[in-house]
Structure formats: structure tokens, C-alpha cells
Amino acid sequence: MKKTLTINLGGFIFHIDEDAFNQLERYLGTLRNQFSRTSGGDEIIADVETRMAELFRERNGETKEVINTLDVEAVISVLGKPEDYLHEEDYSGNSSNYDSYQSYSKKIHRDVDNRMIGGVASGLAAYLNINPVWTRLLFFALFFSGFGLLLYIILWIVVPSARTTAEKLQMRGKPVTLSNIENFVREEAHAVGNSVKHMGRKAQDLNRNSNQVTGLISQFFNGIFEIIKLLFKFVFKIIGFLFLLVVFIALATLATTLFVGFNLNDSHYTWSEISNMLQLVSNDSGIYNAITFGFSLFVLGPLFLIVYYGIRLVFGVEPLNSGVRKGLGLLSLIGLIILGSTAYQLSEKFRASSYHISEQKLNLKAKSYNLEVVQNDVYYDFNQSFNTDFWTFNNGKSYYKGVELDLRKSEKGYTYLETEFNGRGSSRQDARKNAQNLDFIFEVDSANLKFSNYYSIKEGNFFRLQKIKHVLFMQPGDTIYLSAGTENLFYDVKNINDFWDYDMTNHYWTMTEKGLLCADCENSAELLEELEEDSFREENFDQEESESNSQVKIKDGLIIIEEAEAFLIPLKQNEASDTNYHIAALITPFETDVFIEPLLSLT
């Protein structure tokens, strides 16, 4: 176990063990002694510490928390050992061999020391190792192309300036070692000394005037740059504020929804009603709890990140630790897995389908009767939703839309109601049971039929996409009046008038041999007549061949004889009597004579 210390190096906080700290302190102490009497010595030490901090951060990253002696040796090997360049004092530190590697990168910076305006062109020239004149000419040419100024301003904003010696070395592509830092500082000091020594007063005045002009231009663009920065900061703060406002409103709305409820398609739902609906679907408290828990985990991470980044935009707080971000992402992933697994379990309960059919004979005394829909609170709940909701809640009970009614001709000689119940389940047997356990309203008396356009599920059973389809089989000649509201029951009811379901209400309808006919519509008689005429078209007749190869077409007692001489043809026996018919016909292009006489014993 080693003692650990906390140090501030180059503006960064590091944890370092005691041996590494002593080694680092000896190294920096030697440098301070060497450069204490050198011009720019403090700047050299500051640059060295900054560079060491960068190397430690690059080497350790976010996973390693404590610096050890190996880390110190690796950083010293990059910067250089003191005995390689110190002449006045010997380095008394560890003299073991270090790994001889260098890790540096060439980076672009704005060269503010040689700038004309913002140092963009001179910084780019230093990066490319060319004369700044060429880069300035390039920007001057781009200025007339229309986007040079915008490009220069963008680079001025995004490219950092080279302030420290390390940054100036990186700008020129030189490794940031201790010897290079010392040489660069000495060269700058020497250049400044020579310029002061050899420049005359006139040159100084000229330079001063030039610097004043350059300074004014630089101040102008710096002012523009600062204004743009302020505008961007202001815009981001406004965006962050609006972001937080929207999130706050959304959370407040969600909280209100949980307690008060919400409206959807003009229907009001509360959280307790939705909870009851989920329980009716899941039929298992474990599945219901898994859905709730999984959904909470899934939305927790994104919701927290949205709120945090909104706060960060407004108040400029530090970014989240990577561990926190990974943890939130893991929670959302776990929630998604739980939801997916639960959805699969729930889908298994809807896997199979089945149905059940019942028939009820109706003892209606009149040949004319009324059809009505049950109009109560549940009906109005569905009706005001424009038929878009498939379920609603009333007095703590769930009701479902899924009832249809059709009108057809009876072939059994009496009026009856056939009801088909459909449902789904984990097996066909389970689906059949779910289809049968439904409650609905059907009332009948001597002249009235009343249906509900909804159903409910009997207690102890569960929602499995059940559906009810009624078919009212009417005897030919029966007339029914469709009251207002019954359109909510109909689904594609066939009729001679070819009315849409919603147009059939408030009319009397008579069941004929040809189908359902509107009894109080103006064109109904014409439609029925056309339908009957269509039934006697030539293609609807049976064709027979006579002895003379003439053709006779027969249907429903009507006979058509096409161009023929006299012939005899037997017909099927009439069901109402024992009489067969003997037909004799003489047909010419100009006249036709048909003789029909009964024969009592023709076989």
C-alpha cells in the first residue's frame, strides 16, 4: 500500500503515489534551479507543466486514477532528460534507462504573434510550413469569390490561438520537448533583443503607426468576433431555456394526466381506467407490473439526459461523466428488453382464433317492425368519438366497440337472428371460451328489435379482440324501419337501392325475393322492375334441341322458339299438376304460330 497525494499540474488535478511525486518533484526542481536565472524561465516551467499534464491525461485517460513512477518516467522520456541539455547542474534523479519514444502531433492554431487581423492566415502558413504571404493572398482571392469572409470568420471562431510555447511548437509540427521549449523561448528573447537593438527611432515610429493601424483592424474584427460569440451564446441559452420549458410543460402535463386524466377523440380517460384496460389485456399482475416497470426504465435515461442537457445549455454546467451516461443507457436497454419479453408473452395469449354461432327464432306478430339501437351513456361515449375509439369506460366498467349487424333473406320460412361470436386466445379452446364470455343487449317484442352497438366482457375474463356479428334473416314480404343511430351497427348491408350504410336509416325496407328494397324511396319500383327484367335475359334460359335441330329456350314457364319448322318437344312435368305439355310451332322469317296443348299421359 502506497500513500497517495493530490497535485495541481498545469491547471489539472491529479492523484499520484508518493514515489512518483518525489521523482516528479526532483525533475521539476532541477528545471526551476536551471531556468531561474534565464530570461523567460517562468514561461518555460509553465509550458513544461502544461505539457506534462497533457501527457498524463493522454496516457491515463479516464480509467486510471493514480499516477505511478512508470507514468512519470514515460512523460520525462517524451520531454527529455535534464542531463541531455543542462550544463550547470547534474540531475540527481533516477538514472535508469527510459523508453525512448516521442508522442506529438501537429495541430493548427492561429498565429497571433504574426497576425495581420486574426492570425488565421499566418497560423495556416505555419502549419503548412510556407510563407504567410501565400495564405493571405489565398484568403484575399476567396474574399471576391463570395465566401472568403465567411470562411475566415468561421476559422477565427473555431481555431484556437497559439498562446503557450507548447501550442506554438505544435503549430509548427515540432515535438513538445523540454529542449525545444527552451530553444523556442531563447529564440524569441533573442529576436526581441535584436529588434530592439537594431531598430531606429524612425523605424520604431513607423512600426508603431503600422501596429496602430493593424491594432485598429484587429480590434474591429475582434469586436465582431466577440459579438458573434455573444450572439451564439445568447441563442444557445434561449434554446436551452425553451428546451427546459417544453420539458417542464411535458412533465407537468404527464403528472396532471396521471391524476386527472386526458381527452382523446373527445373521450375522457383517466390513469385508473387505462390501468384497468392494461390489466384486462394482461390477465396477470406480473405482466402488468413488468410493463409498468420496463416502460419506466426505458424512459428514465432519455428523460434525464434531456433535462440535463437543457440545464447545461442554460447554465453551462460540466458534461456528464461517461459512467453516468453508460449507466442511463444500460437502464434504458434493460427496460427495452423487459418490454420486448413482456410483449412476446402477451402476444402468445392472442395466438389462436375461434368462433361460436347461436340462432334465435323471433316470434314477431307483425310483418312490419322497427329496428333501434340502445341509446345510453355508453352509446353516447362511442358516438361522440366519431367511431374512432374501440373501447371506453363508464362507471368503472370497460366497454368495447365490435358489434355488427347485417340484414338478409331467410330461406327457412321464419324470421330468426343468427349471432357469431369471435375471439382469440392461447389455444382454439381458450379462444372459443373468450368468444362466448361476452355481454351485449338484444331486446325483442312483437314489433320492435333493439341492439347495443357495444359489448362488455363478463367478470373474470379478459379482452382478446372479441367481436360480435348479428345477421337478421327476414322473410320475403317483411318490412323493417331502420331508426336513427342504427348506422353504427351496419357493415356493408347489401340492398337493391345500393345505399351506403349511413344512408339507410330513417327509411322502411322490404325484403323481396331479389333482396332488400327501400319501400319509401321514389325509384324503388323502377329498380325492382329492371332487376326482374334482367332475370329474363336470353343467357338465363336453358337450351333444348328439337328433332329438327331447332333451338328452344325454356325458363320459368316461358318458351322462346328460334327459327324452326313444326316440331314436337316434351317438357318437364309441372310441379303443380300431372300435366305435361306438347308444343307445336311453325316459324318462318315472316310469321310465327305457336300451339301449346296439354297431354295427360305423355311420358
Dist CA 375 CA 427 (whole Å): 36
The whole-angstrom separation of Cα 563 and Cα 210 is: 123
Of the candidates 31, 57, 30, 33, the residue with the CA atom closest to the CA atom of residue 44 = 31
**Contact in structure between 166 and 176 (CB atoms under 8 Å):** yes
Nearest to 455 by CA among 420, 427, 504: 420
The secondary structure element, H or E, covering residue 176 is: none
For residue 113, give the 3-state DSSP assignment. Answer: coil
**H or E segment to which residue 602 belongs:** none
Exposed, middle or buried, 279 (CB in 10 Å: 0-12/13-18/19+)? middle
- Rounded distance, CA 462 to CA 443, Å? 25
Q: Which helix (H) or strand (E) holds 272?
A: helix 271-282
Residues 338, 412: contact at Cβ < 8 Å?
no
Single pTM value for the model: 0.46
> How many residues does this entry show for the chain?
603
Identify the CA nearest to 561 among candidates 537, 543, 579: 543
C-alpha span between 458 and 436 (Å, rounded)? 9
Mean pLDDT, consecutive 10-residue stretches, the chain (603 aa), reads 84 87 87 72 77 80 80 80 50 37 63 78 82 79 69 78 71 67 59 49 55 66 77 78 79 70 56 66 74 86 81 75 86 91 88 92 88 78 56 73 91 93 92 90 89 86 89 94 90 90 92 90 82 57 48 47 44 43 41 40 35
Name the DSSP class of 503.
Answer: G
In which region does residue 119 sit, left (phi positive, over 0), alpha (psi from -120 to 50) or beta (all else)? left
User: What is the distance between the alpha carbons of residues 116 and 106, in angstroms, rounded to a whole number?
Assistant: 23
Q: To which H or E segment does residue 419 belong?
A: strand 416-425
Q: How far apart are CA 251 and CA 489, in angstroms?
A: 40
Which class for 527: exposed (0-12), middle (13-18), buried (19 or more C-beta within 10 A)? middle
**Which sequence spans correspond to the domains of the chain?**
1-105+184-195, 352-531, 538-599
Compute the distance between CA of residue 569 and CA of residue 520 in angstroms, rounded to an integer. Answer: 46
Which cell numbers in the block locate residue 596? Answer: 301449346
- Collapse the DSSP code of 337 into the 3-class scheme (helix H, G, I; strand E, B; otherwise coil) and give the result: helix
User: What pLDDT sits at residue 522?
Assistant: 83
Q: Cα separation of 482 and 506, whole Å?
A: 6
**Beta strands, E only, 2-157:** 4-9, 12-17, 66-67
Q: Quick one: pLDDT at residue 15?
A: 87
**For residue 181, what pLDDT is reported?**
66
Contact indicator for 238, 301 with CB cutoff of 8 Å:
no
- Spell out the SS3 assignment of 530-563: HHHHHCCCHHHCEEEECCCCCEEEEECCEEEECC
